[in-house]
Amino acid sequence: MATTTLVKVKGAGTEVIQASKDEAASILNIHREIQDGSLTLLHRAKELGDRLAAKKAELGHGNWGPWLAQYLPEISDRHVRNYLSISERWEQLEEWIQAQQKSGEMSLRGALNYLTEASKADSGIPKNDEIVSIWGQVGRVSKRGRVGFAIELTHDHVSNQFNYPKSVRTYETLWKLWEAEGTDVLALHKIVEASERFEIGDYVRGLDPTGDTRQGFVEKKGFKYLTLDIGVVLSESATKIDPPAIVNVPEKPDLCLLDDAEPGSEPKPLGDNSDPDKTIEFRYQDVYGVVTRKQIEAFGKTYSGDILTNDKIRGMFEFEGKHWVCTSGMATVSNPSLCAIGVVPTDQWEGPVYDYNTQPPGIRFTYAGNLIKYRGREYVLTDEELHLTIRPEDAIFIDVDDNALAVGDRVIWPDDDSIQGTIVKLDPSAIWLKQVVVQWDVDPEGHTTPCQGQSIRSLAHNPLPKPDDAPVDTVPTHVYDGSKHELMVGDHIVVIDFWEDGGEVVALEPELKMVEVAWDDQDSDREPWIKSIDIYKPQTEVKNGNGVSEMPPQLRQINHKLDSHPAAAHDKDENCTPRWIWEPILARWGRNKFDIDVAASAAASVPAIACFTKEKSGLDDDVVWQVETTDEEAETLGWEHAPLSLNGPFSRKFAAQYDAGLLPSHFFVLTKSDSRTAWHQRYLNRCQAVCRVAQYITFDQTGDDCQDATYSVDVLYFGPDKERFAEATAHYGRVFFPTNIKAAYDLPPGTQVVEVEACEA
């Protein structure tokens, strides 16, 4: 018999492979042994199932489980169920075995899959491919409760040969969940599917929860709602549409010249757009302000924008022969107004230009020179401002500083005593200034709309002023803090909700209601200019008409327990550190006390050999925080928990001591987690490790009193053994090794932060 020689050539030497009939027969025999072994395995599985079934019948249901756990712990519940299933349904399985012997595809797992699919057909439950198709429709639904677990189960396990967790033992249990709650899941799926049709930035139209039509740009996607730049719409009702064409800009950028319109023709606010060679239509791209079509139309102007009546639109518009960009606008009854800034092409602007990030810090309270872009074309905001107020029907909304007014009162127009009207609505949400809607007897068109400081007058409560008493100058000349106290240059103020941040008033801007402050902390990161409503001028010794001290509610809350004078608030700075913070640190270092506490409270809550207190201050110039020892190799431990009002001075003292090498060998600082402040940065930039405590802290105070306020705190470590610090503190927070120690500790290149996992308490 001739022999065929196969030659394999791949750069190496020639290799001869001989075809062998005997070798092929050997391979076939192994395959048959595997098939026979699979059949034998199935028979052995049936035998085991028969014996388990007999034992189960003998023991009864109540004793079956304990017997398995005691005598057969190595056989899982799942395997026991499989063996019992093979034994119980062997006759049904024999048909499958005959078919598989012909194809050579037989295994124990295949047999179990066959029985599972057959049981579904018998019970009317969909088969594997059907159920996967059904559940695939709801795969992205938010997982909640039992339905959520069932969704997770199908996607993770149905296609993985039904490898169920023990909490759902059978496929039938899963299907019962579907029958019970599947309708609700599909309803959720429709909502989710609707929201997934959109992307952030799409321009959509839909219905809001009240049924009103809204449209705008998608800023956030939810399952039920799409958050637009002008509100929310139901995701099921939303449809994607093209953004509105905001303006038609002439190629020759002379926006301020309008073409003459023939009598009876519709005005074209931004020029003739009939010739495509002369104009370019572009769509809204960069958002800059909001206005409504209704507001523009109220002034008899047209707008090349959206077709809806009351939706908000954005961009440039024309008014009185000039072009503007909206900075604010409200169509609601409570504040029907429009504010805008003038805009011109860049080649018509002669001053400096800059974007938001490059605006010089000395330029304040102006948009002038800011660049805005539309489809590659650049424009510049000017210093011209436009303020329009719209009268809803025949009523107007105005601010009045008169708490005696009520609905039904007769009032007089500020600059014309002949115009009278009736209050038809009051805004109950106003805190300082009431907003009222007045129905005027005579249309006051052409009069200046009343504003703050130019209040309407009640006929019942206010006599008519004499002509000489009429207000002449309505420009604000006073500035008031958040509690309506008048501010003067030289006043000392504090920031509301941040009472430790204080300073002296150095300048006032009445029209803008802004105050320039020289902050007590010279390294404070706060801007010098701040809104007057965000600050408070303490009135520590002044009594109001009711005999109550004029002081912040927060300060009253802190001091009410001891009924102390506000001047005693500094004593309330004596905060005692909770024991559970410092005790693990001492225990890890094998010590009973710290060597030094540089800011000890009067109660000496932290044990230390040496202490600096309020009377013996650690801030004195001649004081050093280093601890001298007789043994040069001895470790020294220091602790600092500075009073909240002295974070700035203590941080500066600490930085000087640290930089000069005058700290104990292991130094610990507890401070507020306020990384935006300069004093916190002084600690953070120098520490070797920091533990961010995973709960808010309420400090005990001198006299067993307890502070009402809670704080988020950091414990910072300065020393050579950051790992030991992590072991001591990780059970009550997350420990981080900041980047400034990367070189010293040879961290891998590119490592930014090394995070230490929290230990069990």
Interval 382-439: pLDDT, tens: 878 776 654 443 444 455 555 566 777 777 766 666 677 777 666 555 444 455 666 6
Summarize the confidence of residues 36-53 as an average pLDDT: 84
Structural contact between residues 715 and 693, judged by C-beta atoms closer than 8 angstroms: yes
Confidence bin at 689 (pLDDT 50/70/90): very high
Whether residue 142 sits in one domain with residue 72: no
Whether residue 152 sits in one domain with residue 44: no
Whether residue 273 sits in one domain with residue 332: yes
pLDDT higher than threshold 90 for residue 666: yes
Whether residue 686 sits in one domain with residue 603: yes
Q: How many residues does the chain have?
A: 761
Confidence bin at 276 (pLDDT 50/70/90): very low
- Both tokens of 453, joined, read 């400081």
For residues 409 and 424, give the distance between their C-alpha atoms in angstroms, rounded to a whole number. 8
Structural contact between residues 100 and 106, judged by C-beta atoms closer than 8 angstroms: yes
Whether residue 249 sits in one domain with residue 236: no
One-letter identity of residue 76: S
CATH classification of the domain holding 743: 3.40.50
Whether residue 716 sits in one domain with residue 652: yes
Residue 602 is part of which domain span? 574-756
In a domain, residue 296? The reply is yes
**More confidently predicted of 515 and 307:** 515
Summarize the confidence of residues 225-247 as an average pLDDT: 75
Closest CA to 624 of 644, 606, 642, 638: 638
Considering the chain, what is the average pLDDT of its residues?
A: 66
Closest CA to 198 of 245, 151, 233: 233
User: What pTM does this model have?
Assistant: 0.31
For residues 704 and 617, give the distance between their C-alpha atoms in angstroms, rounded to a whole number. 23
Number of structural domains the chain divides into: 6
In a domain, residue 569? The reply is no
- Displacement of CA 701 from its chain's centroid (Å): 34
Q: What is the DSSP letter of 157?
A: I
Whether residue 607 sits in one domain with residue 685: yes
What value, to the nearest 5°, has the Cα angle with vertex 634 and ends 630 and 637? Answer: 110
For residues 185 and 148, give the distance between their C-alpha atoms in angstroms, rounded to a whole number. 9
**More confidently predicted of 167 and 210:** 210
Which of the listed residues 85, 105, 124 is the one where a domain comes to its end? 124
In a domain, residue 746? The reply is yes
Structural contact between residues 232 and 218, judged by C-beta atoms closer than 8 angstroms: no
Q: Which residue has the tokens 């993985």?
A: 160
Whether residue 368 sits in one domain with residue 269: yes
In a domain, residue 545? The reply is no
In a domain, residue 222? The reply is yes
**More confidently predicted of 719 and 500:** 719
Q: Kindly tell me the burial class for residue 593, based on how many C-beta atoms sit within 10 Å of its own C-beta (0-12, 13-18, 19 or more).
A: middle
Cβ–Cβ contacts within 10 Å for residue 58, how many?
10
For residues 314 and 68, give the distance between their C-alpha atoms in angstroms, rounded to a whole number. 73
**More confidently predicted of 74 and 263:** 74
For residues 643 and 670, give the distance between their C-alpha atoms in angstroms, rounded to a whole number. 10
The pLDDT of residue 78: 79
Whether residue 450 sits in one domain with residue 429: yes
φ, ψ for residue 191, nearest 5 deg: -65, -45
In a domain, residue 529? The reply is no
Whether residue 226 sits in one domain with residue 78: no
Identity of the highest mean pLDDT range in 147-161, 293-307, 515-529, 696-710:
515-529
The pLDDT of residue 119: 67
Which of the listed residues 408, 441, 469 is the one where a domain comes to its end? 469
Interval 331-354: pLDDT, tens: 444 444 566 778 888 888 887 777
Whether residue 365 sits in one domain with residue 406: no
Whether residue 414 sits in one domain with residue 381: no
In a domain, residue 253? The reply is yes
Q: Beta 457-458 vs 279-283: how paired, if at all?
A: unpaired
Interval 45-101: pLDDT, tens: 888 888 888 888 888 767 888 888 888 888 888 788 888 888 888 888 888 888 777
In a domain, residue 604? The reply is yes
Which of the listed residues 448, 469, 490 is the one where a domain comes to its end? 469
